[in-house]
């Protein structure tokens, strides 16, 4: 499937001050496929080196730090020529060799003519565990995420996708567009953004095939816990991970350690939360004491919510059947709000430089997300259906009078009195819609 990250990689290829890329992201989101496909499209040759599969490569990187010597030695492990401007060098599973990771620095300094992309499984976790040094300033870190709904829609319904891409006004959508949009959004909420699961659904593989793929990925993550964590940490990481549905099913979604285990304390589980963050499996959204710039300065570090990296994986963690999501059954109503928030958060992190925050006013009001941009602090309310009370958003407006407010729901698109109402499926277009609202 076509991925938006290709454009970032093309810009990198054509940049004058090109550094090696370090591709970061969770397992099974398609990093290896992206590197190979980009090489096929944009270069004459692709020289791929997997350090986990070819252990002798560790010795290659350990012997020398000179890029020319490294290229000569690496050439012995590939059948394609390694030539500047013509060959993409892929170094996969780079976390298996600190020497390989450090070599990126020397390529950046002494041989920038070589195009190199490196990636690894649980790179952040492995770097911390092995106390490895990342060559800061000498690599271009590119974050990769699961397949977005926008990317999914491009494959599932190209006409609706093109209509949205050409959207120029904040008026109601044609009924047929909104209907088709919501249909595909429900399908996406079943499979999520793990490429193999999405491809199975779009290829007509059926819901059983989708669930089997997602279960395999969850089992793989469980094995990763054991591989990259100590025995004590494994149990705690697993407990937090499997508590996600329970944490999000609460009305206020606030993370509570006792939900993980009765009597659990923060100091026992803090490292496990960090592990899951570094693995890219969760997003930690902090409450802010006041919605002021910069938001990070007002974060309450002990008050937060956690969300899953992917709505499809969250659905399987909750043992929620596809039919319940597609039909909107009573079984699904209790968890629908959590799923909607998770999906919106997935959209927000792909469009911004960081993780948003949220705001509460005691037990009286709560705004699901706050983002910071050129318009100031923008409050975002998420509603899973068409019923909207708006009490929390109204409370926020009275107190802080923001230039723009956003509500995401299953209602139609409109902009009125500073309130931008956006259909949930359009969350991936939110930055563009905000620009239109600003005029």
49 beta partners: 91
Q: What is the CA radius of gyration of the chain?
A: 23
Q: Both tokens of residue 106?
A: 């020397």
Cα(133)–Cα(372) distance, rounded to whole angstroms? 31
The 3-state DSSP class for residue 64 equals coil
Kind of pairing between the strands at 414-416 and 405-409: unpaired
Q: How confident is the model at residue 89 (pLDDT cuts 50, 70, 90)?
A: very high
Residue 423, strand partner residues: 409
- 179 has a pLDDT exceeding 90: yes
Q: Per-residue pLDDT for 79 more than 70?
A: yes
Residue 112 DSSP one-character state: T
Structural domains of the chain, ranges and CATH numbers in brackets: 5-143 (3.40.50.300), 149-438 (no CATH)
At 378, the pLDDT band (50, 70, 90 cuts) reads very high
Higher local confidence (pLDDT), 283 or 375: 283
pLDDT at 375: 82
CA angle 365, 385, 257 (to 5 degrees): 50
Q: How far apart are CA 67 and CA 60, in angstroms?
A: 11
Mode of pairing for the β-strands spanning 21-24 and 115-119: parallel
Tokens of 196: 């193999």
Measured CA to CA, the distance from residue 171 to residue 299 in angstroms comes to 36
Assess contact for 139 and 43: CB atoms under 8 A.
no
pTM of the predicted protein model: 0.94
Query: Cα angle at 5 between 97 and 208, to 5 degrees?
Result: 90
Q: What's the pLDDT score for residue 439? A: 66
Q: pLDDT digit string (tens) for 222-238?
A: 999 998 888 889 999 99
Task: Give the span between the Cα atoms of 198 and 191, in whole angstroms.
Answer: 6
Q: Is the peptide bond before 345 cis (omega within 30 degrees of 0)?
A: no
Mean pLDDT of the chain: 93
Asked whether residue 390 carries a pLDDT value surpassing 80, the answer given is no
Edge-to-edge strand order for the sheet containing 115-119? 45-50, 87-92, 115-119, 21-24, 140-143
User: Quick one: average pLDDT of 287-308?
Assistant: 94
**What tens digit of pLDDT does each residue of 97-134 get?**
999 999 999 999 999 999 999 998 888 888 777 777 78
Query: Percent of the chain, pLDDT > 90?
Result: 82
């Amino acid at each position: 499937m076509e991925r938006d990250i290709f454009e970032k990689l093309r810009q990198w290829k054509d940049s004058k001050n090109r550094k090696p890329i370090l591709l970061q992201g969770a397992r099974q989101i398609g990093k290896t496929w992206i590197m190979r496909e980009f090489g096929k499209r944009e270069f004459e040759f692709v020289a791929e080196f997997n350090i986990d599969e070819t252990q002798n490569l560790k010795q290659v990187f350990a012997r020398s730090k000179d890029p020319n010597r490294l290229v000569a030695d690496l050439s012995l492990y590939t059948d394609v020529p390694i030539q500047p401007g013509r060959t993409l060098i892929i170094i996969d599973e780079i976390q298996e060799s600190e020497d390989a990771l450090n070599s990126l620095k020397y390529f950046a300094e002494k041989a920038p003519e070589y195009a190199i992309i490196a990636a690894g499984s649980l790179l952040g976790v492995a770097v911390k565990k092995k106390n490895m040094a990342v060559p800061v300033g000498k690599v271009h870190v590119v974050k990769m995420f699961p397949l977005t709904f926008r990317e999914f829609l491009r494959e599932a319904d190209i006409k609706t996708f093109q209509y949205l891409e050409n959207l120029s006004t904040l008026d109601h959508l044609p009924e047929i567009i909104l209907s088709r949009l919501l249909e595909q959004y429900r399908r996406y909420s079943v499979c999520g953004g793990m490429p193999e699961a999405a491809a199975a659904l779009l290829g007509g593989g059926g819901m059983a095939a989708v669930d089997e793929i997602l279960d395999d990925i969850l089992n793989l993550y469980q094995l990763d816990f054991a591989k990259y964590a100590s025995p004590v940490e494994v149990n705690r990481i697993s407990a937090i991970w499997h508590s996600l549905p329970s944490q999000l099913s609460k009305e206020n979604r606030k993370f509570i350690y006792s939900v993980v285990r009765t009597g659990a304390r923060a100091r026992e589980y803090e490292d496990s939360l960090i592990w899951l963050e570094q693995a890219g499996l969760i997003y930690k959204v902090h409450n802010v004491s006041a919605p002021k710039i910069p938001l990070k300065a007002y974060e309450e570090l002990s008050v937060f919510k956690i969300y899953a990296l992917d709505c499809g994986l969250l659905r399987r963690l909750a043992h929620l059947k596809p039919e319940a999501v597609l039909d909107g059954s009573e079984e699904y109503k209790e968890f629908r709000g959590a799923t909607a928030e998770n999906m919106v958060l997935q959209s927000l992190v792909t469009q911004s430089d960081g993780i948003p925050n949220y705001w509460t006013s005691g037990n009286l009001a709560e705004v699901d997300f706050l983002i910071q941009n050129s318009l100031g602090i923008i409050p975002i309310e998420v509603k899973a259906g068409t019923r909207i009370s708006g009490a929390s958003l109204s409370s926020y407006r009275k107190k802080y009078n923001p230039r723009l407010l956003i509500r995401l729901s299953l209602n139609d698109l409109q902009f009125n009195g500073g309130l931008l109402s956006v259909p949930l499926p359009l969350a991936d277009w939110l930055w563009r819609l905000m620009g239109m609202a600003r005029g």
